[in-house]
Structure 1
C-alpha cells in the first residue's frame, strides 16, 4: 500500500510531524468528546497503518492531543470552589491593570489565594474585581480583602460575540467586589517599566488630534481608542494596523538591524564573513523587537509575531532558505507548543493566513529585481489577495466586510509602515533629548485631514453586512482552498464542497422557529417563518446606554436574513421595553404600529396576524398594574401553540383561563420569569405545556425561577429550561415534531461546559 503514494515527492519528516501536531491541537480543542473527533482520529490511525509516510503525522497528532489536555489541566482547569452568591471569601490578589482610576476601582487582578479553593501556582487565574477603598491602588499592589466572588459568566446567544470565551482566552475566570476594608500587603510604590513607557508616549503625543492612533501604534494599548473610532477603523478595514503584529515587529527589527550595521561601518569594524556578521546584526535587530514587545506588555499579537520572526531568523542562521512554506508551519507549531489555546484567538488565523497569502503571491518573484512599477503592481496584488483570502474570516468574526477596505489599505499600509511608524519611533527617541512637538503636529495635521476626508464616505458605503458564516462552513472553505493549492491532492478539494452541498440539501426545513434570547433578567423573543419575523419584547437597558438590540437581536436578524414585520411590547417595565430606544434608532419603530396603533404606552390592541399557516393573536387582561396588563401573544401553527404572557400575576392568569377555558400550549414562556406570584396551579393545569421556558438571569437578584414554581411544573412532569442555565433557547417546529436547541449546549466547547 505504501506504493500508492511513492510517486509523490515526500516532504521532510519534520513537516509531517508539525502538520499532525497542528491537526491534533485543532481537532482536540474544537471537537473533543464529539463524533467528529473520534472519526478524524480513526481516519489518521487508519492512514498511518496503511501508509508509512503518515506515521509522523500520527505521532504529531497524538502529541497535539496530549498537549491540549496537559495545558488545560495545568493552566486552565479550575478546582471546584465554594463560591456562594451571598457568601464572601477571603482572597489575596495582585493588581495587573486598573480600568477605573477612582473608587470604586475596577481592576484586573491575578488571584494568589481564595479561601477554600486550590489555585494554580504556575499561572494563577485572573479576575475582574470592584474595589471600594480610599487608598491609592497601583499596578503590582498585592491586596487582601473579603470578596463576593463568582465564576465569570455572561449571556450566551447564537450569532453573537461570546464574552465568556473571550474571558477564557485571557484566563479571566472570576468576577466580584470587595465587601470589607482592603489591606495592601505589598505596595509597589513605583510603576512598572511598561507603565513608565506608556506614560512617556502619552505625554509626548499629548495635544495631537490623533493621539489615540500614535499611542496605539507605539504601545499596542487600545484603551485610548473610543468605540466610535474602533467602529470607523473596522468599516475602513484597517483595524489590523493598530495591533502590534508582523508589520510593527518587522519594522522595529529592521531599525535594529540597520542601526547596528550603520554603527559597524562608522566605527570601521573589519568584517571577514558577511553571513556571520549578518547573524549578529539579526540578533541585535531581534533584541530591538523583543524590547518593543516587552514595553507593549507582551500583547498576544506581538508575542506571536516575535515568535514567527525568531523562527525565520533561526532557519536562516542554519543556512536554510527561510522563505518557504515550512517556515510558516514551524512558527505555528512553536506558537501552539507554548499555548495550544491560542487557537481560540482570531488574530492567530488572520496573522498566519495573511502571511501564507503574501508568500503565495511573492514566491515566484523571490530573488528577482522587479523594478519600481512591477513592485507597485505586486503590492496591489498582495492587497487584493489579502482581501479575498481573509474575506471568509471577516464574515465569520465580524458578520460583514469593508467595501472600501481594499482601496484604503493600498494607501494606508504604505503610509503607516513607511512614514508614520518610522517617524513615531524616531520622534519618541529624539523627544528624550529635545522638545519637538511641532514635528508631530505637522504630521498630525496631514493625517487627520486624510482621516476626516475618508470619513466623508457614507457609512452604508463603507461596510456591507453579510449573513452569518458558521464555523463548520469556515473550516470547509479553507480546507477546500488548502487542498486546491496542494497540486497532488487538488482533486480532493471537491470533497468539502460536496459535504456543504449535501448538508444543505438534506437538512429539513422547519415550519416556524421560536427564539428566546438570553438577556439576563428580562425578555426578548423572536418568532420567524421563512424570512419574516415578529419580535416580542426588547429586553432590558442598563445605565441608560447599554442593551441587547445591536449585539443580540439585530445580529440574529441579519444572520438569518429576516425581515421584521411587527414588534410587540408586553408592558412598560425596563426589562421588557429597555431596548426600545435602540430599536427605534435602527429604523424599526414602524413595526410597532400594527399591535400598538396608539403607541407603546397604551395596551396592545387585539389583533390577528398571519404569516403563511402561522397565526399570531394578541390580547390583554384588565388589571390594576402594568404587569397584569401585559400583552399576551398566542402563536398557532397546526397542532403547535406557543404562549407568551409577559409578567401577568396569578390573578390575571385566572382571568385568562376563565376567558379562554380551552387555552392550551405546546411551549409556554413562564409568566413573570418564573416568579412565585405567577404560574399558579390552576393556570398550569389548564395550559398543560410540554415545555416551559424561564427567561431569567444567572444567580440574579430575584433568583428566578422560584423553587416553588419549578416544583409546580415538575409535579406535572413538564420539561423546563432556563436561559440562565441554557442561554439562548431556539425551538424549530416541524410538521410532526419540534427540536429544542440551546446556545450553551451547541455553542460551547468541552472546556466551557458547566
Structure 2
C-alpha cells in the first residue's frame, strides 16, 4: 500500500470523531471493497477505497464497544463477579482505591460479559495486585461524566480505554493470586519509591518519568506542570524509550568488544538491531504501553525491519504506516487526545527538520519550541480548551534537564538498584532533587508569567486559526503572512458580548450538585460551585475562563452543603470575586482577602445592564431554620423573562416564601433541592408558574434525584423539564421580549452520546 493509502485508511477511522450517529458498517465496507476492485484499473479510486475501509473498520469497533456497555436494566443492581486486576491500582476520591478489572464470569443470570472490555471500579483500600483474581460484589453503571465546555470528557476517554462500566465495590475476596507480570514489576518499583516520595514528593514525578505511573503525584504538582505546559513530559515517549534501548545496545556492544568469544557464532553487527528493538519493547511494557510509547515502538519496529532488509526507511512512510497500524490495532484510540498530540508533534518535528534554518544550535532549539507551541496551539485548544503561554520557555528548560540528566539517573537507578540497592536509591534521590529545582523554577515562571489561557473556539474560529498559523509557519517562500492576518478576524470576534438587556445563563453539569453562571453585558455572577474540588476546577473554572470571565462581580453560595460549596475553594483560588454572598458562615472555603463579604438577606437587590436581581429568601422567619431552608433564593428579571434560583429549599422555606408577599412568578425555575420529594410543593409551583423547570443532579445519584413523584408533578402541571443528567451543561440566552435560545452540550454532538 502506498503512503496515500495508509493515510486514507487512518483518515477513515478518524472520521469517527465527526459522526453524530454510526452508519451501517457492512454497506460502507462493501462500497470500499467495490472501489478497491475498480482501482485495479482506475488507480485514483484507491484513496477513497481505503478511506471507506478505514471508516468501516472504525465503525465496527465503535459499535462493538457500545453494545458491550452494561445493559441499563443492570445499572445499580448488586452483582457478584470474578474479575482479574488489570494495570496498577490508583488513589481515588475520599481515600478510596481505584482499580481496572477484566470480568471473567458472573453468577448473575442474564448479564452478558463484555469480552475483552474493562470495568473501572472504586472501593475501600485492599491489597489489589495486577493479575490477581478476586470475587467482587459490585454496583455498576454505564460510563457517564460531566459534559461541559472546556471540561475533560470522561466518557470519550473511557471509550478510548475500552472501559464499558464504572462502579463501586461493596465486598471483595481474593480468589487466586496472579503470576509474575510486567505490571507486578511496575507495582514493586512504586513500592520501592514510596519511602522516597514521603521524604521528597517530587520523587513521584521521577516515578512517572521512569514507569509512566502517575498515581503518587499530588494535584498541586500536576497543576503546576499543566500551567507550565510541560505535562506531556510525564508520558513515556520516544526519547525515553530510545535512550534505554540505545543504552542496552551500547552495553552489549561494549561487551562484544571486550569478550568477542561470546559472539563468535553470531557477530554482534547481525543482531544489534533486533536487540535494540527488543530492549525498546521491554521498556515500553515497563512504561505501561501508553499510546505515545506504542507510537514509538511501531515506528522503531518499521525502521528496524527496513534496516534488516537492506532498505532505507523513509521518515514520512514510517509515520503514515505507524499511524495506520496503531489505529488498526486500537481504532478507538482516535478518541484519545494523547494519540493526536503524539503523532502531531512527531510530524511537526519532521517538518521543522526539512526546513533549512540559520543560527546557532541554541537559537534553533529555541525556535523549535516556539514553532511547536504555535503549531500545536489549535490541537491544545480543541482538546483541552486551554494553553500555557509560557510553554515554549518552560519546555526549553525542562526538556534538556529531564532528557539529559533526570531520565539517565532514573534508568541507572533501575539497572543497578537490584544488585546494589543503595546506589539505585541514590540515583533516584538525586533525580528527585533535580526535579525539585525544576519545580521551583516552574513555580516562579507561572507566578510571574501569563500562565494558562482558556478558550474553546467554535469550528469557524478553530479552522481560521489553524489556517492562519499554517500560513505564518510555512517556509518563507510559501508563507502568505499578509492574507493570514485576515483569517484571524473570526478569532478576534469569536466571543460577542451580550447586548444590554440580554442575559446568558449556564446551568453547569457538575454532577450531583449545583452551579449556575449568569452574565450580562458587563457583569458576572456565579451561584454555587458544585460538589467538590474537581467540579470547581475542571467544570466551573474551565467554563468561566472559556467564556472570557476573568473576575466575578458576585459569588453567591446558597448554603453550606458540600454539593453546593465543595468547589468554592478552587473557584476562589482560580478567579477573584469582588463580593462573596452567603447564607451561613463559610465552612469548606475561605473567601479571598480582596472580596467584600455579606450575608444573604431577603430584600437585597441590584441592577446590572438592564437586568434586576432580587434576593427573596431567607427572611427573618427562617433565622433558626435548617441549612437547606436558609438557602439564598435569587430572583432574576429582565424585559419579558424571569428566573428563580432556589438552592436546596424544602417545603418549610417554600411556605415561608408564600407568606412573605414576594412576587415569585418566574418563567424558568431551577428545581429546589435537585427535585427531591421534600420540595416543589403544589402551592409553590402554582405561585411560581414556571414555563420551564431545570434539574441539576448526578447520573444515577444515591438520593434518587429527581424523585419520580416530583417529575410527575411537573408533568401533570405541563411544565417541561430540562436536566443536566440528560443534556449536560445547559446554555440559555434570554433576549428582551422573552425569546429564549437553548443549547445542550450532551445531545446531538457525538455518536457515543446519541446511542441508547
TM over 0.5: yes
CA distance 1:300–1:575, shift in 2 (3 Å): same
Q: Within 1, Cα distance between the matches of 2:496 and 2:10?
A: 31
- 3-state SS of paired residue (2:68): coil
Asked whether the equivalents of residues 129 and 176 of structure 1 are also in contact (C-alpha less than 8 Å), the reply is: yes
Q: Within 1, Cα distance between the matches of 2:409 and 2:399?
A: 14
User: Is residue 458 of structure 2 the alignment partner of residue 465 of structure 1?
Assistant: no
**Partner of residue 149, structure 1:** 140
1:544-693 to structure 2, matched below 5 A, reads 546=533, 548-562=535-549, 563-586=551-574, 588=576, 590-592=578-580, 602-620=599-617, 621=619, 622-623=621-622, 625=625, 626-657=627-658, 659=660, 663-693=664-694
**Partner of residue 171, structure 1:** 162
Asked whether the equivalents of residues 89 and 98 of structure 2 are also in contact (C-alpha less than 8 Å), the reply is: yes
Deviation at 1:245, TM superposition (A): 0.3
Deviation at 1:549, TM superposition (A): 2.3
CA distance 1:351–1:580, shift in 2 (3 Å): closer
Q: Within 1, Cα distance between the matches of 2:405 and 2:561?
A: 55
Moved more, 579-588 or 233-242: 579-588
Deviation at 1:561, TM superposition (A): 0.9
Deviation at 1:520, TM superposition (A): 2.9
- 3-state SS of paired residue (2:59): helix
User: Is residue 393 of structure 2 the alignment partner of residue 407 of structure 1?
Assistant: yes
Asked whether the equivalents of residues 159 and 555 of structure 1 are also in contact (C-alpha less than 8 Å), the reply is: yes
Q: Within 2, Cα distance between the matches of 1:751 and 1:576?
A: 27
Deviation at 1:34, TM superposition (A): 9.1
1:470-481 to structure 2, matched below 5 A, reads 470=457, 472=459, 473-474=461-462, 477-478=465-466
Deviation at 1:241, TM superposition (A): 2.4
1:297-696 to structure 2, matched below 5 A, reads 297-317=288-308, 319-364=310-355, 374-434=360-420, 435-436=422-423, 440=427, 443-444=430-431, 447=434, 450-451=437-438, 453-455=440-442, 457=444, 459-462=446-449, 464-470=451-457, 472=459, 473-474=461-462, 477-478=465-466, 501=490, 511-541=502-532, 546=533, 548-562=535-549, 563-586=551-574, 588=576, 590-592=578-580, 602-620=599-617, 621=619, 622-623=621-622, 625=625, 626-657=627-658, 659=660, 663-696=664-697
**Partner of residue 4, structure 1:** none
CA distance 1:155–1:357, shift in 2 (3 Å): closer
**TM-score normalised per structure 1:** 0.83
User: Is residue 123 of structure 2 the alignment partner of residue 130 of structure 1?
Assistant: yes
Asked whether the equivalents of residues 535 and 568 of structure 1 are also in contact (C-alpha less than 8 Å), the reply is: yes
Asked whether the equivalents of residues 402 and 462 of structure 1 are also in contact (C-alpha less than 8 Å), the reply is: no
CA distance 1:105–1:438, shift in 2 (3 Å): closer
Aligned length: 720
Moved more, 561-570 or 589-598: 589-598
Q: Within 1, Cα distance between the matches of 2:525 and 2:226?
A: 30
- 3-state SS of paired residue (2:666): coil
User: Is residue 67 of structure 2 the alignment partner of residue 77 of structure 1?
Assistant: yes
CA distance 1:198–1:521, shift in 2 (3 Å): closer
Deviation at 1:558, TM superposition (A): 0.8
Moved more, 485-494 or 158-167: 485-494
Deviation at 1:662, TM superposition (A): 6.1
Asked whether the equivalents of residues 156 and 518 of structure 1 are also in contact (C-alpha less than 8 Å), the reply is: yes
CA distance 1:302–1:530, shift in 2 (3 Å): same
Q: Within 2, Cα distance between the matches of 1:715 and 1:689?
A: 13
CA distance 1:378–1:259, shift in 2 (3 Å): farther
Asked whether the equivalents of residues 532 and 611 of structure 1 are also in contact (C-alpha less than 8 Å), the reply is: yes
Asked whether the equivalents of residues 69 and 142 of structure 2 are also in contact (C-alpha less than 8 Å), the reply is: no
Q: Within 2, Cα distance between the matches of 1:539 and 1:640?
A: 26
Asked whether the equivalents of residues 401 and 463 of structure 1 are also in contact (C-alpha less than 8 Å), the reply is: no
Q: Within 2, Cα distance between the matches of 1:125 and 1:496?
A: 48
**Partner of residue 22, structure 1:** 10
Moved more, 334-343 or 518-527: 518-527
CA distance 1:332–1:98, shift in 2 (3 Å): same
CA distance 1:647–1:402, shift in 2 (3 Å): closer
Moved more, 59-68 or 139-148: 139-148
- 3-state SS of paired residue (1:523): coil
Output one character per residue of 1:238-281: Cα deviation in whole Å (capped at 9) or x when no partner: 3222211011122223224444444444455999xxxx986732
**Partner of residue 747, structure 2:** 745
Q: Within 1, Cα distance between the matches of 2:52 and 2:485?
A: 24
5+ residue gaps in structure 2? 587-595
Asked whether the equivalents of residues 112 and 124 of structure 1 are also in contact (C-alpha less than 8 Å), the reply is: no
**TM-score normalised per structure 2:** 0.83
**Partner of residue 5, structure 1:** none
CA distance 1:605–1:474, shift in 2 (3 Å): same
CA distance 1:83–1:192, shift in 2 (3 Å): farther
